Amino acid sequence: MSESQEKLIESTLDFDGMLEMLRTVIHTIGDLFGLAFTKMISKYSLEFQAEKVGEEPPEGLEDIDSMVEYIKKHKDKYSGGYNSLLYGIAKAEKMFEGALGSGAKSVAYNVILKVISDSGVLDSFEGKMEDLYEALSNYLEMSAAINLAVSQKIRKDSESAVLVNIISCPFKDTCEVANREGITRVTGGQDCIVLISNTAALSKITGKALDYTLEKYDPPNCEGKIYEI
């Protein structure tokens, strides 16, 4: 296999940067789906975070901004605090399932796509790349440069599909709890925040209708495929 068909992207996830991105995502969820949804996200996030830091959930943290500050406060006790927000989103979506009209795509996918579109960060790429491998390579290198990517190896499977090997995923705590609680995709199977984000970004860049499958669930090193539909 030629070098151009496979690439390793190494990155260190920035704690504060990830929290701020998730803050934006959750505020966008509130704009799209209502305050009741974001309150539920806060509730489940708080329960997850409090358990990780070994204390009872404090009262009065019903909004996302307060929740983010609570996570930052306990960074020394739990350095993966962004997992609390990710779990909150997944759990809340499961509780709202069937009432959101989100179809086969998850709330997270639709919201991440909107956040990416509104931010303008991919405007210079949009419509200029049709090859999924090339588009994903450029997106991940850009994200890694600002420490908002997860280390992963990508490989071109075909003109219409790219394979992703996730390395030491920082979101494994979310996945392990979600898997234990039976929180799955609307269409079945395990969700994956890395593949959701990659798929949303590639849809924005290429203009193609895409989906993903998590082909090997083995956190923190999972494997998946993103493909045209």
The phi and psi torsions of 167 (rounded to 5 degrees) equal -115, 125
Domain 3-228 is found in CATH 3.90.1520: yes
Q: In the Cβ-directed half-sphere of 226, how many Cα atoms lie within 13 Å?
A: 30
pLDDT at residue 143, rounded to an integer: 94
Contact 33, 107 (CB under 8 A): yes
The rounded distance, in Å, linking the Cα atoms of 201 and 203 is 5
> What's the token pair of residue 144?
């890694």
Task: Provide the Cα torsion 30, 173, 68, 71; round to 10°.
Answer: 160
> Token digits for 215?
């082909």
Measured in degrees and rounded to the nearest 5, phi and psi for residue 60 equal: 90, 0
pLDDT tens across 113-138, in order? 999 989 888 888 888 888 999 999 99
Q: Per residue, what are the HEC states of 26-71?
A: HHHHHHHHCHHHHHHHHHHHHHHHHHHHCCCCCCCCCCHHHHHHHH
Q: Residue 204 and residue 227: Cα distance in Å, rounded?
A: 14
Burial 23-39 (b: 16+ CB within 10 A, else e): bbbbbbbbeebeeebbe
Neighbouring residues of 117: CB distance < 8 A, sequence distance ≥ 6 = 204
Q: What is the pTM of this model?
A: 0.91
Give Cα separations from 178 to 44, 105, 175, 220 (angstroms). 12, 18, 5, 14
Residues of the chain with pLDDT under 70: 1-4, 97-105, 186-188
Instruction: Write the CA distances from 128 to 5, 114, 117, 131, integer angstroms.
Output: 19, 19, 15, 9
Domain boundaries, the chain: 3-228
CA-CA distance, 105 to 99, in Å (whole number)?
Answer: 14
Residue with tokens 């739990």: 78
Question: How many other CB atoms sit within 10 Å of the CB of residue 141?
Answer: 13
